[in-house]
A and B are shown apart, each in its own frame.
Chain A
Amino acid sequence: MIPSPISQFRILSGEAVRDAARRRIVAGMVVLSLLSLLVVDSCTSCASGPIELNGQEVEASGLLGFTSILLFGMIALWTVALAGVLAADHLTQTLDDGSARLVLARPVSRGVFALSRLAGSLVVSLGTGAVLLGMSAFFLKVRHEYGFGPSAWSAGVAMLGAVTVASLAMIASFWLPRLLTFLLVFGTVAGVAFTNWTALAGAELSPFWSAANQFGPPIGTGIALAASQWTGHELDAQPLVVGARLLLWAVFSPALLAVLFSRREI
């Protein structure tokens, strides 16, 4: 009897997680992530007291706490980019080495196979991201008494953004070589976040970037909205709309991946 698509997904995604964890790139990512944690630890552990900045006396803990919030945002973005990089060749690698064909000669649908590879890479990247964001949130809470709520919102935004970027990276890898896909992931994540923040700051955008800001995944906007709960700044963005757009992208991108992979000749 043919196993149900859900059973097949469970079997294949388990294998995809083990496959992702065995990759050399993961070791590099873990080292970089640990370094990021050291930076966060360093930025949040300074002693309190007044310091002089541009001739004005400011409270060190306040300034460094603000830097920590920025760093937290950067780590959320790093989690999104990490998901894209790990996913970039997690599916095409199986096509290149031929192992996908052995699995797809079984009664397994292409969609189930593609989504299981996506899930495998996401478990590793989101696991790393959860540790990074969790530790950073802990430092912010313990050392600066910033609440956990905005951290949870940021983590949610990073998770939805990671699903979107990982799916789109897998799609791009059908046509682009690995290195170019990596660069595209970093460029797109940075570009979209910067555009979102530029728009929030009220700056004029060119038609292309304006469209990217209006219709693209609002990863930067979501992170800024979460951080604004700490800083108290009012931003010109509706949390519900931003959340709905992030969710829509996180559903649409994997669905597109499944459809495109089903139509692809292997």
Chain B
Amino acid sequence: MSAFAWSGVTKAFGDQIALAAIDLAVPEGATLGLLGPNGAGKTTALRLLLGFARPSRGTVRLCGLDPQDPAARDGLGYLPERVALPARIPVRRMLELHGQLAGLTGRDLRAEVDTVLEQTGIADRARDVIGELSKGLTQRVGFAQALLGRPRVLLLDEPTSGLDPLGIRDARDWIVAAKERGCTVLVCSHVLSEVEQVCDRIAILSRGRIAAQGEIGELVEAGETLEDAFVRLVRG
């Protein structure tokens, strides 16, 4: 079964076509890198998957359900490109709130919050107010909330944005760890090297269409880097 899929999905905003009849299915346990130049439709595809918008045509499925159904988002971890966290509350309080919404309670909730705080290296900042944290630390808090409750599906939009080289390496480790325990991961990113290191499949969006999709080895030709292949497929 696919963890998530877009079938014949078109999304139009007035006369402007953001996505044109895209077909893409991601099997459970896979790690997909969704690549594309600015304005290619990556964010729109993600919004449809999260149920934030409805397709003009076609169907989107998340864990076999319509993403508009709240049950489809059970076991989902999401990190947006621009992490928007309430500035005036402490880190732990925010994580507890999201943990509760993910269905955690009591001792399990406290233990899970402690685990993600440790995992993302912000245990010593748990009492700090989010608005006082640096961009990199805020991104770590965003990661911590996405990893809460050991999600089955992880949707990451530009996950290393704002992180320093150490943070980027840590983020890669968190994604790999999630992948190793069977989590299906979608990474939307401009950083091709990052996608190459953590993803086993990629899909390239260009002008609202799927320009190419498959395993990285199938798409990169001999003597090419992923960047060369990306440029060839987008421009070609």
Chain A residues proximal to chain B, CB less than 8 Å: 1-3, 7-8, 11-12, 15, 18-19, 22, 97-99, 101-109, 265-266
Contacts and interface: CB of A to CB of B under 8 A. Distances in A.
Contact of A2 (B54, B70, B88, B145): B70
A3 B50 contact: no
A98 B80 contact: yes
Contacts of B70: 2, 107-109
Q: Which 6 A-B pairs have the closest CB atoms?
A: A98-B84, A105-B78, A106-B101, A265-B53, A107-B70, A107-B74
B73 interface: yes
Given A99-B85, A106-B102, A265-B52, 15 more contacts: A3-B100, A7-B100, A11-B100, A15-B97, A98-B82, A101-B78, A102-B80, A104-B50, A105-B78, A106-B73, A107-B70, A107-B74, A108-B73, A108-B101, A109-B70
Contacts of A11: 97, 100-101
B54 A265 contact: yes
Interface of B: 47, 50-54, 70-74, 76, 78, 80, 82-86, 88-89, 97-98, 100-103, 145, 155
Contacts of B71: 2, 107
A104 B102 CA distance: 11
A105 B84 CA distance: 13
Contacts of A104: 50-52
Contacts of B82: 98
B73 A101 contact: no
A195 B78 CA distance: 50
Choose among A1, A107, A108, A265 the residue with the greatest number of B CB atoms under 10 Å from its CB: A107
Contacts of B86: 19, 99
Contact of A105 (B50, B53, B89): B50
26 contacts: A3-B100, A3-B101, A3-B103, A7-B100, A8-B101, A18-B89, A97-B84, A98-B80, A98-B82, A98-B83, A101-B50, A101-B52, A101-B78, A101-B80, A102-B80, A102-B145, A103-B101, A104-B52, A106-B101, A107-B70, A107-B71, A107-B73, A107-B74, A265-B47, A265-B52, A265-B54
Nearest to A99: B84
A14 to B, nearest CB: 9
A106 B98 contact: yes
Contacts of A3: 100-101, 103
A8 B54 CA distance: 24
A254 B119 CA distance: 41
Contacts of B72: 107
Contact of A102 (B51, B53, B74, B98): B98
A106 B73 CA distance: 6
Nearest to B77: A105
Contacts of A97: 84
Contacts of A19: 86
A161 to B, nearest CB: 30
A18 B100 CA distance: 17
A228 B183 CA distance: 67
Contacts of B83: 98
A105 B54 contact: no
B97 A101 contact: no
B76 A105 contact: yes
Contacts of A102: 78, 80, 84-85, 98, 145
A205 to B, nearest CB: 41
Nearest to A18: B89
Choose among A2, A97, A108 the residue with the greatest number of B CB atoms under 10 Å from its CB: A2
B103 A1 contact: yes
Nearest to B49: A105
A15 B54 CA distance: 28
Contacts of B89: 18
B56 to A, nearest CB: 11
A240 to B, nearest CB: 39
A3 to B, nearest CB: 6
Contacts of B98: 102-103, 106
Choose among A15, A97, A102, A104 the residue with the greatest number of B CB atoms under 10 Å from its CB: A102
Contacts of A108: 70, 73, 101
A205 B114 CA distance: 65
B165 to A, nearest CB: 26
Contacts of B76: 105-107
Contacts of B80: 98, 101-102
A22 B98 CA distance: 20
Contacts of B51: 104
Nearest to B105: A3
A101 B84 contact: yes
Nearest to A15: B97
